[in-house]
Amino acid sequence: MIAFACATTDEREFRAYAAPATARVAEESSLLLRRHRVTERARAYNEMIAIAAEREDLEALVLIDQGVTIESDGFLADLRALLSAGEDIAVIGAGDSPAKEVATVGGELVVLTARFCSTLRFDPRLSVSPDAAVADLCMAARTAGGRIVAAPLGVVPKPRFELRSARRARAGAALRRKWHLEPNAEGAGLGPAPSEKLGLKSR
């Protein structure tokens, strides 16, 4: 079973983007989780991750931003193909073709595999920047022996303003301090960093 979770602050945006996208690709057995009027994103997502982790039939949990659309009808089939690449796959995000291992993924859509749902959580101290929070999650996954993958999943985020450069810089600095990283270290940035091509099993 593949579950979906969304932390929302804007009902109109959610109903225009993430709600119809999730309804279109979800299966009858899918668990749909939502927290509305969220003021602490990390806490909201951590609560939903914990709920999903209790399900014995969980394959993966899709964390979708309220302003994201999924255009691919084969989203779940593509996701399951990625999951079959190995039990050490921890996090999957949207990216370009072909599927690749990366240092981190963007915050618009993040997939946690069932195995890592039990241990991975967002750090509330980094929630000021979604990309920093996800980069931190990916660092934790890699430290635990997991792999991070980016692949073309038909995900289209709503155009939005970037974080102010000062806030982005502070979030990046906090992330580097936490993991004792050099400024240019791999995975220390706030966006995807390509690594190597992922070898997928034949479907």
Give the model confidence (pLDDT) of 70-115 as tens digits: 999 999 999 999 999 999 999 999 988 789 999 999 889 999 999 9
How wide is the angle at C-alpha 59 spanned by C-alphas 58 and 60, nearest 5°?
A: 100
For 140-182, what is each residue's pLDDT tens digit?
A: 999 999 999 999 999 988 766 444 455 556 666 777 777 777 6
Rounded to two decimals, the pTM is 0.84
Which is more confident, 97 or 65?
65
Highest mean pLDDT among 9-13, 59-63, 170-174, 186-190: 59-63
The full DSSP string for 111-145 is: EEEHHHHTT----GGGTTSHHHHHHHHHHHHHHTT
CATH superfamily of 2-197: Spore Coat Polysaccharide Biosynthesis Protein SpsA; Chain A (3.90.550.10)
Based on DSSP, count helices (H) and strands (E) in the chain, helices before strands.
Answer: 7, 10
Supply the pLDDT for residue 132: 86
Predicted confidence at residue 39, as pLDDT, reads: 87
Of 111, 113, 14, 134, residue with least CA distance to 63: 111
Query: Is the torsion defined by CA of 80, 156, 14, 187 positive or negative?
Result: positive
In this predicted structure, the answer to whether residue 184 has a pLDDT above a threshold of 70 is no
**pLDDT for position 131:** 83
Q: Residue 195: what residue type?
A: S
Q: Average pLDDT in the 192-196 region?
A: 48
Chain Cα centroid distance, residue 58: 16
Question: What whole-number distance in Å separates Cα of residue 15 and Cα of residue 58?
Answer: 26
Alpha-carbon distances of 172 from 67, 101, 179, 187, 201, rounded to whole Å: 23, 21, 11, 10, 35
Whether the per-residue pLDDT at 31 is higher than 90: the answer is yes
DSSP E strands: which ranges in 40-165?
A: 60-64, 68-70, 89-94, 100-102, 109-113, 147-151, 155-157
The string of pLDDT tens digits covering residues 113-148 is 999 999 999 999 887 788 889 999 999 999 999 999
